[in-house]
Structure 1
């Protein structure tokens, strides 16, 4: 205020006029000076608010980015030191509650198949070929023509089971191109799986859902989906969903998770739950086939699948950790040869966090285990880094005090299955939580 008065007096001293003119001039100068001071104050406040908003936005981006990896690229999560890694990390507030089955029944990454060939352990009434996407060396099965494909090594899908796979689609896939069909079905005979394609005949009992990356209006950021339930040759349930989240031309590489709990079916695309049906499976139905299929599409427009994982079990995290004192999971996924946690691991870590939150005095030891690939020293170091990454995730995402968690790494020294098979290696790549 002292500064304002000095400015007013300085201006007034430049004028020689009567008292009335000076009085009017004084009021005008006071208003001008006050307005200038207010403008400066507003600019300072705006600058401060901008800084606060930038900090808030930065925090939100770190905790809940919705970007998707490029086809064949690595997942993202927590790096070896436990700091946020670039890319997608599910937020602690996420509703993603998928928990993979404990016992791995079947795995398929097509690593044993040559590029350009149809995979040797699959059957089809159409065609397809192994390709590489994104320069990562990862093998994908491209569905290149109308028809169905099925893994012949899957001949039973238990009542409590999970199915996961990575899905990609050509960036130019059109609204008028066909959707991807994913069926869990009861197939009869060697070629019974062909009934579960777009215009298949002879369907008996099964459930399928479709995924398409483009919704009506050629929307790039929204897909569409449909579901049907069949019993003894009759369609007993059907529904469609537009503007389905998770899979679109802007998010064209996603992780799909399917959870069967007796008659209940839940389907997740990325972190989005798109279907949750309590009566999607017929009681006592014998579901023995997993089928992927599509109909016509423009030349060069394909779906791609890889990293198919079928696992059995209905994990009871709370009971095992509190009553048995130990919980082991193969559902925390890492990038190959690293301690980077993949986003789809969020559900099982979230369950651990809830048990720890509900039991404030509970302390745990987190132990990492690897398969036998690589040197023993390297595996020992890697398993310890992975345990530390899980601890960091629990602390950062869920606020679990670091003092309540110890970490350890056993490398490949304590296998629970045969490292000679892919399924055995998957059982050995695990994280154990032990009550202290």
Structure 2
């Protein structure tokens, strides 16, 4: 039997019962500490397995009864101790994103949260030459694709990575992930056929042109630091590479659930881990090349040591905040993120808010109406109130964080009214969860 506890964003795996059971439980109690007291009561599912070394056979959803949505909104946290976008014990505030300049694309074209897939299955819309399965993580929202074996996986529904796109996803790693286990490879490639994605493994053959960024949660030594690297491939040859050691933004101790943000502008690639810009490469993408594939890959790792992916969001277009708000009189964005069911703004929204604040500062005579919108999940009355509360939160952030005079801003909410996307699809819902700024 495996027992999995997740507190303060750190995943804790306990080995199989045996002579070392007492020591393991003692270690678990020490690590969990206050986190176990603060987080939700665990629901333990029993599962028989001959392979007692396999971790994450089942990761159990917690009982959310100890903390209401209202309490979450007041504290700025989500269940399991995750604050904002962070999946760690570290305290990440809105101000800590002060240098975060990531601005999501205007139009969401892909939103993959695995809601259509059953736990235990490999996702239907993905392809692989290895194995993987959908899991849940106690204390974290939604479903996750776990890369359980050596090999590559790819979302078949992504067939174009245009010259201006943003890609975001949540990434988790098991806390016992070893320095000797393989890194995660994230490749944006020009694929020549349905199965060409398999060449973008660690030692794969058949790579032509593409960009690979690697992440590993454990650098040499015992300090909680990871490492990263990149490779640029062009015409079947590696044209550039580099490595970075001592990466604090991603490690297997206290920052093992993070948000990855990738931004392509023509040839330029920016790569972020939470609020940290890890790579900024001005000539990462070759000109005149069709990049049409996204590939995740890992090589060998100890049984049970895994990477997990969730909430993949691909958007296109470069937001022209200045022109749309000042010239056209209206700017709408899906890049201001909120905790689920609340008006608490996630810190990853900093880049968009900063852009809007800059336009308002440069145009002191412009006043705006801030209007919130939701998708159709939930009742009409709840969504209407939520949309109004979210607009008010945006006004408060622009005033408190960026110094915009509150008298220049009025707020309103339309709830699930005036949808711009299909509420029957995840992509459409993402389009409808938006905030509009209207010049008045």
TM-score range, shorter chain: 0.7 to 0.9
Moved more, 393-402 or 248-257: 393-402
Q: 1:273 to 1:263 in 2, by over 3 A?
A: same
Measured on the aligned residues, the alpha-carbon RMSD in Å equals 2.2
The partner residue of 1:127 within 106, 128, 131 is 131
**2:218 aligned with 1:227:** no
Q: Return the TM-score normalized by structure 1.
A: 0.80
Whether the 8 Å CA contact 1:81–1:389 is kept in 2: the answer is no
**2:164 aligned with 1:160:** yes
In structure 1, runs of 5+ residues without a counterpart are 1-66
Give the alignment of 1:275-286 within 5 angstroms: 275-286=279-290
The partner residue of 1:288 within 274, 289, 292 is 292
**2:423 aligned with 1:428:** no
Rounded Cα–Cα distance in structure 2 between residues aligned with 1:115 and 1:353: 42
Structure 2 residue matching 1:301: 3-state secondary structure: coil
Structure 1 residue matching 2:94: 3-state secondary structure: coil
Whether the 8 Å CA contact 2:97–2:350 is kept in 1: the answer is no
The partner residue of 1:188 within 192, 195, 198 is 192
Q: 1:282 to 1:309 in 2, by over 3 A?
A: same
Q: 1:93 to 1:210 in 2, by over 3 A?
A: closer
Equivalent residue number for residue 106 of structure 2:
102
Q: 1:246 to 1:136 in 2, by over 3 A?
A: closer
Equivalent residue number for residue 247 of structure 1:
250
Rounded Cα–Cα distance in structure 1 between residues aligned with 2:200 and 2:367: 49
Rounded Cα–Cα distance in structure 1 between residues aligned with 2:231 and 2:206: 15
Q: Which has the larger radius of gyration?
A: 1
Rounded Cα–Cα distance in structure 1 between residues aligned with 2:126 and 2:10: 26
In structure 2, runs of 5+ residues without a counterpart are 1-6, 12-60, 65-69, 78-82, 84-91
Rounded Cα–Cα distance in structure 1 between residues aligned with 2:250 and 2:188: 20
Equivalent residue number for residue 85 of structure 1:
76
Q: Report the Cα offset of residue 83 of structure 1.
A: 6.8
Equivalent residue number for residue 326 of structure 2:
322
> Which structure: greater helix fraction?
1
Equivalent residue number for residue 375 of structure 1:
379
The partner residue of 2:302 within 276, 284, 298 is 298
Rounded Cα–Cα distance in structure 2 between residues aligned with 1:92 and 1:388: 22
Q: 1:84 to 1:319 in 2, by over 3 A?
A: farther
Moved more, 355-364 or 230-239: 355-364
Aligned length: 366
**2:197 aligned with 1:206:** no
Rounded Cα–Cα distance in structure 1 between residues aligned with 2:134 and 2:74: 36
Equivalent residue number for residue 56 of structure 1:
none
Rounded Cα–Cα distance in structure 2 between residues aligned with 1:259 and 1:80: 34
**1:276-315 C-alpha deviation (Å, 9 max, x unpaired):** 0110000011111011110011111100000000000011
Whether the 8 Å CA contact 1:175–1:218 is kept in 2: the answer is no
Q: Runs of 4 or more off by more than 6 Å in structure 1? A: 71-74, 79-84
Rounded Cα–Cα distance in structure 2 between residues aligned with 1:302 and 1:186: 27
Whether the 8 Å CA contact 2:209–2:233 is kept in 1: the answer is yes
Q: Report the Cα offset of residue 90 of structure 1.
A: 2.6
Equivalent residue number for residue 15 of structure 2:
none
The partner residue of 2:266 within 245, 262, 266 is 262
Equivalent residue number for residue 316 of structure 2:
312
**1:348-375 C-alpha deviation (Å, 9 max, x unpaired):** 1111111122222221111001112221
Q: 1:93 to 1:146 in 2, by over 3 A?
A: closer
Rounded Cα–Cα distance in structure 1 between residues aligned with 2:193 and 2:72: 52
Structure 1 residue matching 2:392: 3-state secondary structure: helix
Q: Report the Cα offset of residue 80 of structure 1.
A: 9.8
Q: 1:369 to 1:305 in 2, by over 3 A?
A: same
Q: Report the Cα offset of residue 323 of structure 1.
A: 1.2
Q: Report the Cα offset of residue 421 of structure 1.
A: 1.5
The partner residue of 1:389 within 374, 385, 393 is 393
Whether the 8 Å CA contact 2:231–2:238 is kept in 1: the answer is yes
Equivalent residue number for residue 18 of structure 1:
none
Rounded Cα–Cα distance in structure 2 between residues aligned with 1:85 and 1:175: 34
Equivalent residue number for residue 401 of structure 1:
405
Rounded Cα–Cα distance in structure 1 between residues aligned with 2:273 and 2:198: 25
Q: 1:284 to 1:262 in 2, by over 3 A?
A: same
Q: Return the TM-score normalized by structure 2.
A: 0.79
